[in-house]
Amino acid sequence: MSSIRQVQVTFDCAEPERVARFWCEVLGYVVPPPPEGFATWGDFDRTLPPERRGAGFVCGDPSGVGPRLYFQRVPEGKAVKNRVHLDVRVGTGLVGEERLAALEAECARLVAFGATRVRVLLADEYDESCIVMQDIEGNEFCLD
């Protein structure tokens, strides 16, 4: 059995480029250059059949370490809680008030980009504190 070497995380959404650019801000990811022969992704997009224009967008970790994120347009809206979500790990190694301060600072930064704060889950005897949030189309993620 071979091991998996790369993982891509795919988001269903209504506006792929908008959601991709939000996640670029969250994670420090970048949009790759457009295909050869095109000055911009918009130029490339205009060569596609009308039904495919704006149907997908991608971003990735500039260091090549993190997974590529792919955003695909789907006709239906989000209906229920995500079964899988991303944990954005901004409080790693921190505990107590120091951890909460780091989480709150990142929460404020992301709210400015359109994220929604849902609730704070305070530390208990098993887990450290985290903040549950939603991206600009309502997909849940945690600041951990």
Residue 141, amino acid:
F
Which residues, given as ranges, of the chain have pLDDT below 50?
Answer: none
pLDDT at residue 126, as a whole number: 83
* Cα dist from 11 to 8, 20, 41, whole Å: 10, 9, 19
Q: Does residue 17 contact residue 59 with C-beta atoms inside 8 Å?
A: no
Written as six digits, the tokens of 120 are: 């704070």
Per-residue model confidence (pLDDT) at position 6: 77
Q: Spell out the long-range contacts of 73-76 with Cβ–Cβ below 8 A and sequence spacing 24 or more.
A: 73/13, 73/14, 73/15, 73/16, 74/12, 74/13, 74/14
